[in-house]
Structure 1
Amino acid sequence: MTVRAAVIGLGIMGRRMLEHMAKHPGYEPVAVWDPDPDAYQAAHAIAQGAEITTSAEDAIAAADVVYLACPPGPRKAYALAAASAGKAVFLEKPLGIDVRESEGLVAGLKDSGVPAAVNFTQAAGAALTDVSRAAHAGKLGKLVGADIIVTYASWPREWQKAADWLRFRDEGGMTREVISHFLFFSERILGPLSVVWARPSYPIVSDLCETHMLARLENADGIPVSIMASVGGAQPDRQELTIKGTLASRRITDFYIDARSDGGEFTEPTQRPSDPRGSSLKAQLDDLLLCIARMPNRLATPDEALRVQKLVEAMLVEKP
């Protein structure tokens, strides 16, 4: 039987997930909702069988699993409403922006007993699976650190500009939206991290999000994760994480492209899929079915997402 799915929030992420749910044999998109009526036309073209409901509550009532792609602010309320109705919950990241609120969300999801996961898109992908396997098998040698480098000509990027909240300090910014993915990946390899120091830079207009981030984090053994992120200048996007070992290192570029070095140039050990994003989203949806069935899966847990959120929010505090 297919799982009936509802999507709340029909921006770029909501439409992407709706598209891949419609393609996946395990799902039937049955309901969509967004507070902006203009969002419905594109969603209807993607999944014509899905009902455009008049409220988020109606969308929740129609489904077995609710995917939340709304901005972080209202995410807790919708997630707990879905959980109280006995629906499985799949949340977009970040889990939230207020740590106490998110702690309450995680506690509420646990109390409800419903299956719940957070969409860190690399969780079920081939890159994280393969790097984790290599690291734990000792193929990288002794792990000595990780480097996260993120640079953009502008933020939000052109394809994100419809989501206006991404440019504001309260909910948006590249640290929450992009660096969080690589922090999640790093914790899967190195274990829980803590912030040693962080230096965000903000524009003069005080309500806008950070333009630069320098930070050092460490795991329990003192292995460092170094972060350098910046916005500005004519350049292509650069998004990469390097997990460094004494025998070999692995570099993940643009979330999906995995390359290996034993001291020379980085080379890709396997052929890239023709549609890396599509392959990654399918893997996420495959594992979401396992999560809904209460079976072992690779998706990010709410506890993992909360840990990443705490790191991110600690990094974003402006230092005197």
Structure 2
Amino acid sequence: MPDTRLSIGIIGAGIMGERLLNAIIDQTPDLLRVAGIWDPSAQALERIAAARPDVPRLSDPAAIIAASDCVYVASPPASHLAYSRAALAAGKAVFCEKPLSTDVADSRAFVAEAGARGAVNFTFASSPAVATLTDWITEGAVGTVSHITIEVAFASWPRSWQVDAAHWLDRRAQGGFTREVVSHFMFLSRRLGGPLTLLESSVDYPEPEATERRIAARLSAGDIPVTLAGSVGTTTKDDHNVWTLEGDKGAVRLCDWSIAERRLPDGSWHRDENALPIELSRPFTLKHQLEGVVKLTRGQPHRLATLEDALNVQEIVEAILAG
């Protein structure tokens, strides 16, 4: 019997590439098959070979593109658009890691030329916790929205599980927590509020050549005011974040990526009884993301972050980092 599953190829065998590879094999084997994976690092490919010996390791990006219906671009940001353009030129769909790039002008040109065959891996598009927040908002738990607050903090940057990628994650050209983490919460604000506009911001670079250690900003998501604060060295946690939506009837918030909470009339916060920590909720999120990738590749409506979403987020992020 012929294999009717869509084929997805992966460019980049780092943390994100391997994470999605495992999700494809473990979460959606009936929908997708891995056409192959490539990375310029022989060591990275050896790691993949040891963990997943049945996954083809192809010779170069062109081979990945040729073998795939959809290409997942999980390389460092500066290379995203070149691989994405090559895949689209070959008639393939593209699922790209964020950010689109670090060059706003090039990203604008790419989005203008790309059409609807691309999407970006902002995982809040498929998060069960965000679905719960959305249900609460629809049910009237918040009322008329008045404000969004984004707070992120890190014990150190990069986070402990990212130290092997510090050569770019802690360099200003491509890295930093604003691009890697804050961008997710900006996407969430855009998705639930509206297009983002930066009003004012500040950024602190206390270490030569290293990435930002503190940011602050005021922006808007549609008509909703947004306050943003982020810092390194201000928590003992690897990663701590809270996204809060306030209204005239109450508030909802998302804590540490995956915990949905709503504020009760007495002022106390009630956690969703089905909430799971990020390690346990991630498989559900990635399964939904991959289901969206199938729809994207087939030209069907999907809930993934669009290229326009990602461009708007990138514009704000780069403006903040430019100071």
Corresponding position of 2:177 = 174
| Counterpart in the other structure of 2:197 | 194
**Partner-residue secondary structure (3-state), 1:210:** coil
**1:108–1:44: structure 2 CA closer, same or farther, 3 Å change rule?**
farther
Q: Deviations over 1:267-313 (max 9, x none)?
A: 22231347211111111111211222222211000011000000111
Equivalent residues, number: 313
Normalised to the residue count of structure 2, the TM-score between the two structures is 0.92
Cα deviation, residue 121, structure 1: 0.8
**What residue ranges of structure 2 are gaps of 5+ in the alignment?**
none
TM-score (norm 1): 0.93
In the alignment, is residue 292 of structure 1 matched against residue 284 of structure 2? no
Counterpart of 2:20 in 1: which secondary structure? helix
Which deviates more, 134-143 or 295-304? 134-143
Contact residue 180 and residue 312 of structure 1 kept, 8 A? yes
Counterparts of 2:120 and 2:69, CA distance in 1: 16
Q: Does 1:96 align with 2:101?
A: yes
Return the offset for 1:240: 1.6
Structure 1 residue identity aligned to 2:216: L
- After superposition, residues 1-320 of structure 1 pair within 5 angstroms as 1-23=4-26, 24-25=28-29, 26-110=31-115, 115-163=117-165, 164-205=167-208, 207-221=209-223, 223-233=224-234, 235-236=236-237, 237-263=239-265, 264-273=267-276, 275-318=280-323
Identify if the C-alpha distance between structure 1 residues 298 and 234 changes in structure 2 by more than 3 Å, giving closer, same or farther: closer
Quick one: which amino acid aligns to residue 280 of structure 1?
T
Deviation at 1:262, TM superposition (A): 2.5
Residue by residue over 1:74-110, the C-alpha shift from the partner in whole angstroms, topping out at 9 and shown as x without a partner, is: 1101001011111110000011111111112212321
Cα-Cα RMSD = 1.6
| Runs of 4 or more consecutive aligned structure 1 residues displaced over 6 Å after TM superposition | none
CA contact (8 A) 2:8 2:34 kept: yes
Percent of counterpart pairs with the same letter? 38
Q: Secondary structure at the match of 1:271?
A: coil
Three-state SS of the structure 2 residue aligned to 1:7 is strand
Distance change >3 Å, CA 70–CA 118, structure 1 → 2: same
- Match for 2:255: what amino acid? T
**Deviation, structure 1 residue 136:** 4.4
